[in-house]
């Protein structure tokens, strides 16, 4: 017989999280929403007010009416930090516990190759930001980090990063926890970006969606029934190595014809270089003469300026991605597919090819209400998602009482 685990959220965490979700709410509505007795709700509210986590406010125009008192979070009771690392970019955002961004910083990196260089840098930047905003380290309640490689989510350590071998099993979670003495969660970039769009971006109303990042690699974040689904070993969403049948190009993973090898940025750049060198594409030829190289962005830009061969390369990439997504849409029946990552910059032709390819090969029921859209948050997506990763954890019913005991 299957054993079920039961999680009983305390009245305290339940009430706090309803206030957090509603923004502003009065006692009567809290009693109704929780199903708890008036006296229990009052008791818990008083406890949270005493702790300094929530406060009562008088709406304008109702100054002397106690029954109109509303409850809200005390935003600066505590803070969290969201960190997002790319190969050449680092973004860090400081949030208060209401998830209002207090300070957003974006840095260029020479490269993220060496963890022994990058992690001290991240720590230094976090400390700088805390100082700028006069936030004491003791008021930092948690840090969420998104990294550009597979991460063992439970352990918080990188798992065979394909292009950054020095990071393999680097004790990331431990380093940040020991330095800042606060809870730390680490996840891969796509899961974090899915959280960003799911909480602050285009998918705020969606229960089930798929976030697909198309950049140097291709990966997906699965947001199912309102939360990130990670699978047995945390590798759910690893769609870059799904085979395009009939394609034989060798992938760095050792298999042939992987989607990533056929359709991600390096493949687009490679095909762009070909038509630049043959002279078929005058625009790309000119770029090649000037820069001595062709990037995926060059191909995307040329496509947007109407270059036929560049258009064909972008369309082909979109079609291949769409042919894989069609299978996954049949399988999981999401309500939205969000396309993000650098190649998304190739614009509407790219999105249209993906959409067309999905629609032509998915079932009626799976596509009847399906939306295929570009991500919305741009550079905010990563750090906002990383902040969300940690704030949902520290305020979860399982962890809430520890959080307030530790910090208040």
- Among 237, 300, 318, 382, which residue interacts with a second copy (rule: CB under 8 A)? 237
Q: Are 147 and 189 in contact (CB under 8 A)?
A: yes
Least distance from C-beta 130 to a second copy, angstroms? Answer: 25
Length in residues, the chain: 408
Q: Which of residues 6-45 bind a second copy (CB under 8 A)?
A: 6, 8-11, 14, 17-18, 21-23, 33-36
Does 304 sit near a second copy (CB under 8 A)? no
Return the residue of 232, 290, 306, 405 that touches a second copy, per CB under 8 A: 232
> Who's near 166: CB < 8 A, 6+ residues apart?
113, 114, 115, 116
283/328 with CB nearer a second copy: 328
Contacting a second copy within 199-228 (CB under 8 A): 199-200, 204-205, 207-208, 220, 222, 224-226
> Distance (Å, rounded) from C-alpha 3 to C-alpha 71?
39
Radius of gyration of the chain (CA): 24
Residue written as token pair 């940025």: 265
Q: Which of 55, 319, 361, 373 binds a second copy (CB under 8 A)?
A: 361
Work out whether 154 is an interface residue with a second copy (CB under 8 A): no
Taking the C-alpha atoms of residue 72 and residue 19, their distance in angstroms, rounded to an integer, is 6
Judged by CB under 8 A, the chain residues 318 through 337 that form the site for a second copy are: 323-324, 326-328, 330-335
Distance of closest approach, residue 234 Cβ to a second copy, in angstroms: 7
Q: Which stretch binds a second copy (CB under 8 A): 64-72, 74-82, 289-297, 363-371?
A: 363-371
Q: Is 245 in the site for a second copy (CB under 8 A)?
A: yes
Size of the site for a second copy (CB under 8 A): 73
Taking CB under 8 A as the criterion, the residue among 229, 319, 352, 406 binding a second copy is: 229
Q: Is 159 or 274 the residue whose CB approaches a second copy more closely?
A: 159
Q: Which of 121, 363, 378, 402 binds a second copy (CB under 8 A)?
A: 363
Q: Based on CB atoms, which residue is closest to a second copy, 135 or 242? A: 242
Buried b (16+ CB within 10 A) or exposed e, 40-56: ebeebbebbeebebbee
């Amino acid at each position: 017989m299957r054993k079920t685990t039961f999680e009983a959220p305390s009245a305290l965490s339940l009430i706090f999280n309803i206030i957090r979700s509603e923004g502003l709410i009065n006692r009567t509505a809290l009693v109704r929403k929780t199903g708890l007795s008036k006296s229990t709700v009052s008791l818990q509210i008083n406890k949270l007010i005493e702790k300094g986590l929530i406060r009562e406010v008088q709406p304008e125009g109702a100054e002397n009416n106690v029954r109109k008192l509303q409850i809200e979070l005390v935003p600066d009771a505590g803070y969290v930090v969201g960190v997002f690392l790319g190969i050449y970019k680092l973004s860090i955002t400081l949030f208060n516990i209401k998830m209002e961004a207090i300070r957003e910083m974006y840095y260029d990196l020479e490269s993220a190759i060496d963890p022994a260089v990058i992690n001290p840098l991240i720590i230094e930047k976090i400390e700088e930001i805390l100082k700028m905003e006069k936030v004491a380290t003791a008021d930092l309640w948690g840090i969420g980090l998104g990294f550009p490689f597979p991460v063992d989510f439970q352990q918080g350590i990188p798992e065979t990063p394909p292009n950054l071998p020095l990071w393999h099993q680097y004790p990331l979670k431990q380093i940040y926890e020991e330095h800042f003495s606060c809870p730390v969660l680490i996840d891969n970039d796509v899961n974090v970006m899915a959280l960003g769009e799911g909480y602050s971006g285009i998918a705020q109303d969606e229960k089930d969606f798929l976030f697909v990042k198309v950049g140097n690699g291709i990966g997906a974040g699965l947001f199912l029934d309102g939360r990130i689904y990670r699978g047995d070993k945390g590798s759910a969403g690893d769609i870059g190595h799904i085979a395009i049948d009939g394609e034989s190009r060798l992938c760095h993973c050792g298999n042939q014809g992987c989607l990533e090898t056929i359709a991600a940025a390096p493949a687009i750049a490679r095909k762009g270089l070909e038509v630049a060198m043959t002279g078929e594409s005058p625009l790309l030829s000119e770029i090649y003469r000037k820069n001595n190289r062709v990037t995926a962005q060059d191909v995307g830009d040329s496509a947007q300026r109407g270059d036929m061969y560049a258009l064909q390369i972008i369309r082909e990439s979109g079609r291949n991605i769409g042919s894989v997504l069609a299978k996954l849409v049949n399988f999981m029946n999401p309500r939205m597919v969000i396309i993000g990552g650098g190649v998304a910059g190739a614009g509407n032709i790219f999105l249209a090819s993906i959409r067309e390819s999905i629609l032509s090969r998915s079932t009626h029921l799976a596509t009847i209400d399906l939306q295929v859209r570009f991500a919305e948050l741009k550079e905010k997506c990563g750090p906002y998602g990383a902040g969300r990763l940690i704030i949902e954890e520290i305020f979860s019913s399982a962890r809430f009482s520890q959080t307030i005991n530790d910090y208040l």
